[in-house]
Amino acid sequence: MPGRVMSEDDNSPISAREARRLFAGLKAAPALVLAVSGGPDSVALMWLAARWRRALARGPELTVVTVDHGLRPEAAREAREVKRLATELGLPHRTLRWRGAKPKTGLPAAAREARYRLLAQAARAVGASHVLTAHTRDDQAETVLMRMLRGSGLGGLSAMAGVSQRDGIVLARPLLDVPKAQLIATLKRAKLGFADDPTNRDTAFTRPRLRALLPLLAAEGGDARTLVRLAARLARANAAVEVLADGAERFLRLRDRDVAPQVGIRSFEASAFAALPEEVRLRLLLRAIDALGHEGPAELGKVENLMSTLDRAMAGPGAAANGRPVLKQTLAGALISLAGGRIQIAPAPARRRKGR
């Protein structure tokens, strides 16, 4: 099948009308933090948000925040450049530094974690309800691809949500359906410069390597739009499974009404649990382990292994008999046991905790 040809719209600058639609849900917020690295996407976000806000009689206060991860010598200069642009647009700007030890492995993930923590702190400091990032449709497609290669579950393959919560702050991605090419066109039209972060092309990292694959996939018909559509469909299925898991949890609790609830312990009747669909059982285990374990979140693959072990133990002799547990296993700081026909999930004893 020939590759999809980009529509003209994919390359056109974003109009004021289109920007009003992108930011429509944010009008009533008291204040917004714009996360701006100085790269093209986030400079475009800043410019579009400033233009949108100027056209409103009343609307949220905007504050631009740049995080300097302390990893590249140019970062401080780039932050100053963002400040200059923000000031030109009449917006206040703050630079926040990631201090402390940097890990030797998993540096991009640790930097991202630190960045979101600092952005949430900045939002609280200025009374903002939301942090806005400039993730684009291309970023979303890369995320889908990364997670496909990792063999992620439904939740992971749903990729990034347009709106989510983090540390009590709403994380919004208003440009998630916008192709990067449109942001570049917007910058060109506005005659705005931006920083070129070489890490984005550094093939020592997975994401840039996968980014290079995207044109090849597009030539086979799997362009960004297709990958993003896949993520949206899986997000829908994922939301449905979550609702089923809510219902199953209520059902199991109802069946448990004769059992005195113990604080900090979840317990399911094993036969009722076994009758549920596999994906729902996995969610229930994941939820209980994440809620009660102290090393979460649990890895999906490990919970899948645990469930196979549980299935075998439930089918084996002695599972329903009272007495010694037929299974006892720790996972992500939670202790899972099967005894007397019940599955029980509790915090793992302190002495089993990592590093103690």
Ligand X SMILES: Nc1ncnc2c1ncn2[C@@H]1O[C@H](COP(=O)(O)OP(=O)(O)OP(=O)(O)O)[C@@H](O)[C@H]1O
Specify binding-site residues for ATP: 37-42
How near is the Cβ of 91 to ligand X at its closest, in Å?
Answer: 14
On whether the CB atoms of residues 35 and 46 are closer than 8 A, the answer is: no
Beta-bridge partner residues of 328: 337
> Per-residue DSSP letters for 269-300?
EHHHHHTS-HHHHHHHHHHHHHHH-SS-SPPH
Question: What angle do the packed helices 40-54 and 75-88 form, to 10 degrees?
Answer: 20
Which amino acid is present at 345?
Answer: I
Per rule CB under 6 A, is residue 271 in the interface with ligand X? no
Task: Determine which residue in the list 197, 269, 279, 295 makes contact with ligand X, applying CB under 6 A.
Answer: 197
Is 62 or 67 the residue whose CB approaches ligand X more closely? 67
Q: Which residues pair with 132 in a beta bridge?
A: 34, 172
Tell me the closest approach of the beta carbon of residue 101 to ligand X, in angstroms. Answer: 19
Q: How deeply is 206 buried, as exposed, middle or buried, from its count of CB atoms within 10 A (0-12, 13-18, 19+)? A: middle
Segment interacting with ligand X, rule: CB under 6 A, options 29-37, 223-231, 290-298, 302-310: 29-37
How far apart are the C-alpha atoms of 39 and 246, rounded to whole Å?
Answer: 41
End-to-end CA distance of the chain: give it in Å, rounded: 57
| Chosen residue from 10, 26, 66, 178 binding ligand X by CB under 6 A | 66
Pairing assessment for the beta strands 31-35 and 61-68 based on DSSP bridges: parallel
Taking CB under 6 A as the criterion, the residue among 19, 50, 67, 280 binding ligand X is 67
Q: Taking contact as CB under 6 A, which single stretch among the options 35-43, 159-167, 210-218, 296-304 is the one that binds ligand X? A: 35-43
Report helix angle 180-190 to 40-54, nearest 10. 60
281 is a site residue for ligand X (CB under 6 A): no
Q: What's the min distance (Å) between Cβ of 204 and ligand X? A: 15
Instruction: Examine residue 284 and tell whether it contacts ligand X (CB under 6 A).
Output: no
Binding residues: 37-42
Contacting range for ligand X; rule: CB under 6 A; set: 8-16, 62-70, 273-281, 344-352: 62-70
Nearest approach, Cβ of 98 to ligand X (angstroms)?
9
User: Which one of the spans 38-46, 223-231, 246-254, 337-345 is the region binding ligand X (CB under 6 A)?
Assistant: 38-46
Cα gap 236→76, rounded to integer Å: 41
Q: How far is the CB of 104 from ligand X (least distance, A)?
A: 20
Q: How many CB atoms lie within 10 A of CB 135?
A: 25
According to CB under 6 A, which residues from 112 to 141 bind ligand X? 115, 133-135, 139
Alpha carbon 205 to its chain's center: 19
Contact call for residue 36 and ligand X (CB under 6 A): yes
At its nearest, how many Å lie between ligand X and the CB of residue 35? 3
Q: Which positions ≥6 away from 60 have C-beta within 8 Å?
A: 26, 27, 28, 29, 30, 31, 32, 53, 128, 130
Which position among 40, 153, 222, 333 is part of the footprint of ligand X (CB under 6 A)?
Answer: 40
Count the helix, strand and coil residues of the chain and give each as a percent rounded to the nearest 5. 50, 15, 35
109 or 240: CB nearest ligand X:
109
**Residue of minimal Cβ distance to ligand X:** 39
143 touches ligand X by CB under 6 A: no
Residue 97 CB, shortest distance to ligand X, in Å, is 10
Interface with ligand X by CB under 6 A: which residues? Answer: 35-37, 39-42, 65-67, 115, 133-135, 139, 197, 200
